[in-house]
């Protein structure tokens, strides 16, 4: 089966009844972008830009960042999407030259876009670098991590818009929101109605953690932090419906997008783009091709009425490899 998946890795992922799902990659830099292309990715759904900031003693300059973003963009085929997530540190991701004061509850504290609000110059520099790279070929998207409130979104978007106006560029850049705090999924209708908000991408790692109030890295709890929990799937399905009603698209860039068993359920819930780990791309594409959209929808309807993650997983038989 692996050989058959390999053979079709460069073909699009289309269900048996003709519904196309974008299969893109999660990357940490331009080497990954090139590798993702070799493995059949149709673009990048998540560039974790914190990798550009890690392993250094000072923050990368605007020029250094622009170079990395442009290199990633040039590694893709013209017109393919490149989604750059702005710096996502704090919580489990420290950065010593950007110290975050010790907190009782780092996962509920200053992390993701909240760091950017404390240090707006960091986000401003990053926005300028992204805008500078916007002409390198790919269709550029920027998204903000850990958005929890409409105010968070408006504040981050305003910073991007100010830098865009100052740069005077006309290249279109889509702007979106990481859906990884339950409030955003619950209020998808209101978020989708926000002007200038083009897309959403579900960070199922954090969304699952925050939905269940369980630390995804906790040694005794991690096994229960299953994105196939019906609570999480219900949030995703309801959000997809609300976003589509506003003509906005929904991706999934958390780990569950790399799980072939979950793929038909995600597709049935209305997910438009799966952004997965590079090695998973051929098998995720194969999983899309194995079902009709009708079957995916039936599976999704059943999944949201299940009581446990194992009931959900039992809906989708796993093939032997």
Residues that bind ligand PEP (CB under 6 A): 46, 48, 88, 180, 203-206, 253-254
Quick one: angle between helices 30-38 and 62-75, nearest 10? 10
- Give least dist CB 25 to ligand PEP, A: 12
Q: What is the DSSP string of 9-41?
A: TTS-EE-TTS-EEEEEEEESSHHHHHHHHHTT-
Of 96-104, 165-173, 197-205, 311-319, which segment contacts Mg ion by CB under 5 A?
197-205
Nearer to ligand PEP, 180 or 226 (CB): 180
Total residues contacting Mg ion by CB under 5 A comes to 3
- Give least dist CB 232 to Mg ion, A: 13
Q: Choose from Mg ion, ligand PEP, none: what does 253 bind? Cβ within 5-8 Å by kind.
A: ligand PEP
Judge whether 204 and 263 are in contact, CB under 8 Å. Answer: no
Judge whether 77 and 37 are in contact, CB under 8 Å. Answer: yes
Tell me: does residue 203 bind Mg ion (CB under 5 A).
yes
Nearer to ligand PEP, 46 or 316 (CB): 46
Distance CA(57)–CA(97), nearest Å, equals 6
Which candidate, 63, 77, 92, 79, places its Cα nearest to that of 33? Answer: 77
Nearer to ligand PEP, 46 or 304 (CB): 46
Q: Choose from Mg ion, ligand PEP, none: what does 15 bind? Cβ within 5-8 Å by kind.
A: none
The residue number with the shortest CB distance to ligand PEP is 203
Distance CA(320)–CA(318), nearest Å, equals 7
Q: Using alpha carbons only, what angle is made at residue 172 by residues 169 and 177, rounded to the nearest 5 degrees? A: 115
Tell me: does residue 206 bind Mg ion (CB under 5 A).
yes
Nearer to ligand PEP, 73 or 204 (CB): 204
* Binding residues vs Mg ion (CB under 5 A): 180, 203, 206
């Amino acid at each position: 089966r692996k050989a058959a998946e390999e053979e079709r890795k460069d073909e699009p992922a289309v269900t048996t009844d003709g519904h196309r799902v974008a299969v893109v990659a999660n990357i940490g830099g331009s080497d990954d972008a090139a590798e993702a292309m070799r493995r059949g990715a149709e673009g990048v759904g998540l560039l974790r830009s914190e990798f550009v900031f890690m392993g250094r003693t000072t923050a990368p300059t605007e020029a250094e960042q622009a170079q990395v973003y442009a290199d990633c963009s040039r590694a893709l085929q013209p017109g393919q999407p490149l989604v750059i997530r702005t710096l996502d540190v704090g919580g489990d991701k420290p950065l010593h030259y950007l110290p975050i004061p010790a907190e009782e509850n780092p996962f509920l504290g200053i992390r993701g876009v909240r760091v950017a609000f404390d240090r707006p110059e960091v986000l401003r520099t990053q926005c300028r670098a992204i805008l500078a790279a916007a002409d390198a070929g790919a269709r550029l998207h920027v998204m903000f991590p850990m958005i929890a409130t409409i105010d968070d979104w408006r504040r981050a978007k305003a910073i991007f818009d100010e830098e865009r106006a100052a740069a005077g560029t006309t290249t279109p850049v889509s702007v979106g929101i990481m859906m990884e705090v339950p409030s955003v999924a619950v209020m998808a209708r209101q978020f989708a109605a926000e002007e200038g908000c083009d897309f959403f991408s579900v960070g199922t790692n954090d969304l699952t953690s925050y939905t269940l109030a369980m630390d995804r890295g906790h040694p005794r709890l991690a096994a229960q932090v299953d994105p196939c929990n019906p609570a999480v799937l219900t949030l995703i399905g309801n959000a997809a419906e609300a976003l589509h009603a506003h003509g906005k698209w929904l991706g999934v860039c958390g780990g569950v997008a790399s799980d072939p068993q979950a793929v038909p359920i995600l597709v049935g819930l209305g997910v438009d783009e799966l952004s997965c780990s590079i090695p998973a791309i051929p098998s995720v594409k194969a999983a899309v091709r194995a079902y009709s959209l009708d079957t995916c929808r039936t599976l999704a309807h059943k999944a949201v009425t299940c009581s446990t993650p194992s009931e959900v997983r039992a809906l989708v038989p796993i093939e032997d490899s």
